[in-house]
A and B are shown apart, each in its own frame.
Chain A
Amino acid sequence: MKALTWHGKHDVRIDNVDDPGILNPRDAIIKVTATAICGSDLHLYDGYIPTMQSGDILGHEFMGEVVETGSASTLKKGQKVVVPFTIACGSCYHCGKHQYSGCENGNPADNQDIARELYGHPMSALFGYSHMTGGYAGGQAEYVRVPFSDTGPIVIPDGVDDEKVLFLSDILPTGWMAAENAQIEPGDTVAVWGCGPVGLFAVQSAFLMGAERVIAIDHFPHRLELARKFGAETINFEQTATYDALMQMTGGIGPDAVIDSVGLEAHGMFVDNVVDQIKASTFLGTDRIHAIRQAILACRKGGRVSMPAVYGGFVDKFPLGAVMQKGLTLKTGQTHVQHYLPGLLDAIMEGKIDTTFLISHRMPLEQAPEGYRMFHDQQNEVTKIVLKPGQ
């Protein structure tokens, strides 16, 4: 089959690789009908995520048709499913608490040591996202082996267009959980850093959860325009003293909750960011964290900091004093996708949430390397690329 494979920084290719096959009883094989390039795939593309190996198949946002099932799978051939990017067993303590991204059983034992060293605990497994998180082949391919197919994939009713439901795999539940982690109360003002897909879904979700105002912050005019369509007020951080603007817009109190959906490759010519960038390029620190620093400083006393953005390693000059002195609550984590799927599928089917506005480009799988380059270089115009294998 054809698959998008990683070979190093800014080097992804379409390779011919062996087809996947059933290995464990709960496996299913999915023929991919639609798969997206995620902003977090750009972290892999830019070489920020450790434990990648040449030839790794990328992709963790995908859906498709069930073509083969193991003896303990509950799926049936021909069903259309969306697959969560987090691989969860459904049987362990964490899955029992619906903390699916804490699942202890999806990551092969030999891959657990790295995160044990780095984070103190092994990570749950993810599709197509380095060997620290399992080393599983991803979904930017014609076929994928999906473990625990009785727990993860959600069956989509017949006749529903792929593009309406594809983002259930990651970014919609991630934006939703970001808003949930902001513990929004009626009347709240929520500030969202980063109007990529997760940030835009967090804007939508925050309003649905009762926020009175949402202030969206980015530097790409097109993305800010999308946020405005959902009712957000916007700040272009390149043209604005963002902290001062937030203080004035909230009467000096600061946003009640802040959401960082930017992550470890924050953009912008700020002194701390340039220092971070030098440190990252010399491996003295690994992550550039301007957005989260600014979010923490702007957040009102006693407020909530929600951090759906991806961080991988160590940061310098993290304002821990501000977290303590202002009594902030910090909530974060990889998304518990399985927990949110049924409710969010209902919301899509009932028309309460629309995700299709996000898609700016569609292309066949064969053009994926070009898609990565475009997504990387043209973040104003390219909001989301959907790849369609076999078309």
Chain B
Amino acid sequence: MPDIADKPHDDAPVSTWKDATAIDMATMKAIEDRGDSLTGWAVTINRTASDLYAWWRHFPNLADVMENVERIDLLDDRRSHWVVKAPGGTTVEWDAIVTDERDGEMIAWASAEDADIANSGRVTFRDAGARGTIVTATILYDPPAGMIGKLVAKLFQREPNIQVRRDLARFKQLMETGEVATNAMNPKQREEQDA
């Protein structure tokens, strides 16, 4: 294992590091170890951190902005069950557990054992003054092989952070405008797009 202490100081977010010490740094400081693929993105949203945190913390809401997430059921205050669409009309599922949180500032989670796709991460809400709040998501995941691997590839598109970018873009749209943008002409066309 590389020695993180040897790495010179660098302010770049850990998910943008090119070397393997990024995973060690992420799992040492912030995120439970659930894989070896690290990705992240950030958006600025013109709302208060407490508003955004409160909406996110009610996890079932996230199905409205996360593509492919069919539903999220609350099991208790810290545990939720995620059901995600997979190829061939099937689903993949996992339980997510809140591993750390600071009210209005940060939520960290990790998947429970036996998850179809092991994953962990954290989302932070940082006050950006007149611009609103900077929301940063950092995600660690373990890409599986086979059918589910194909799903993960689809989830994360060509580049791993594309899916995170899209989900955060929809979160921003909903929080700032009250709706998620669609270019469909009418309800029928939107159903066809979603299918």
Q: For the complex, count residues of B whose C-beta is within 8 A of A.
A: 29
Given contacts A93-B132, A104-B172, A109-B169, A26 and B181 within 8 Å (CB-CB) = no
Which residues of chain A have C-beta atoms less than 8 A from B188's C-beta? 18, 21
Q: A89-B177, A93-B44 are in contact. Are A23 and B187 (CB under 8 A)?
A: yes
Q: Does A110 contact B (CB under 8 A)?
A: yes
Are the CB atoms of A24 and B182 closer together than 8 Å? yes
B176 at the interface (CB under 8 A from A): yes
Decide yes or no whether B162 CB sits under 8 A from chain A.
yes
State A208–B109 Cα separation when bound (angstroms).
60
User: Would you call B30 an interface residue if the criterion is a C-beta within 8 Å of the partner chain's C-beta atoms?
Assistant: no
CB neighbours of A96 from chain B (8 A): 46
The reply to whether the CB of B90 lies closer than 8 angstroms to some CB of chain A is no
Asked if B46 contacts A93 (CB within 8 A), the reply is yes
CB pair A145–B186 under 8 Å, yes or no, is yes
Which residues from 114 to 161 on chain B have a C-beta closer than 8 Å to any C-beta of chain A?
131-132, 157
Shortest distance from the beta carbon of B113 to any chain A beta carbon, whole Å: 32
| C-alpha gap A90/B188 in the complex (Å) | 27
Is B173's beta carbon under 8 Å from chain A? Answer: yes
The smallest C-beta distance from A214 to any residue of chain B, in angstroms, reads: 39
B residues less than 8 Å from A153 (CB atoms): none
Is A199's beta carbon under 8 Å from chain B?
no
Question: B8 to nearest A CB, angstroms?
Answer: 27
Choose one: B67, B165, B186; the contact of A112 (CB below 8 Å).
B165
* Contact yes or no, B177 A113, CB < 8 A: no
Query: Do the beta carbons of A91 and B177 come within 8 Å of each other?
Result: yes
CB pair A105–B181 under 8 Å, yes or no, is yes
What are the residues of chain A within 8 A of B181 when measuring CB–CB?
A: 24, 105-109, 125, 134, 147
Most buried by A among B44, B166, B188: B166
- State A17–B188 Cα separation when bound (angstroms): 12
Q: Which of A302-343 contact B (CB under 8 A)?
A: none
Closest approach, in angstroms, between the C-beta of A60 and any C-beta of chain B? 14
Residues of A within 8 A of B157 (CB): 113
Q: Say whether A382 faces chain B, with CB atoms less than 8 Å apart.
A: no
B170 is an interface residue with CB less than 8 A from chain A: yes
Contacts of B170 in A (CB 8 A): 109
Q: Is A196 in contact with chain B by the CB < 8 A criterion?
A: no
**A134→B44 CA distance, assembly (Å):** 21
Considering the chains assembled together, what is the distance between the CA atoms of A31 and B185 in angstroms?
14
Considering only residues 50-101 of chain A, those with a C-beta below 8 Å from chain B are 72, 89-93, 96
Name A104's closest neighbour in chain B (CB-CB): B172
Chain A residues in 8 Å Cβ range of B177: 26, 89-92, 105, 148
State which residues 1-24 of A face B: CB under 8 Å.
17-21, 23-24
Within 8 A of B (CB), among A134-171: 134-137, 145, 147-148
CA distance A18 to B162 in the complex (A): 32
CA–CA, A90 and B178, complex, Å: 12
The CA of A236 and the CA of B169, in the complex, are separated in Å by 48
B180 → chain A closest CB, angstroms: 8
Q: Give complex CA distance A110, B165 in Å.
A: 10
Contacts of A137 in B (CB 8 A): 183, 185
B180 contacts across to A, CB distance below 8 A: 24, 109
How far in angstroms is the closest Cβ of chain A from B37?
19
Please name all residues of chain B whose beta carbon is closer than 8 Å to the beta carbon of A147 when the two chains form the complex: 181
* Chain B contacts to A: CB under 8 angstroms: 44, 46, 67, 131-132, 157, 162, 165-167, 169-170, 172-173, 176-190
A-B contact pairs, 27 of them (CB 8 A): A17-B185, A18-B185, A18-B189, A19-B185, A19-B186, A20-B185, A21-B187, A23-B186, A23-B187, A23-B190, A24-B179, A90-B177, A91-B176, A92-B46, A92-B177, A105-B173, A105-B176, A105-B177, A106-B181, A108-B181, A109-B170, A109-B173, A112-B169, A113-B157, A116-B165, A135-B183, A137-B183
Told that A18-B189, A105-B177, A109-B181 touch, could you supply 15 new A-B pairs with CB distance under 8 A? Answer: A23-B182, A23-B190, A26-B179, A90-B177, A92-B176, A93-B46, A105-B181, A108-B183, A109-B165, A109-B166, A109-B170, A109-B180, A113-B162, A116-B165, A137-B185
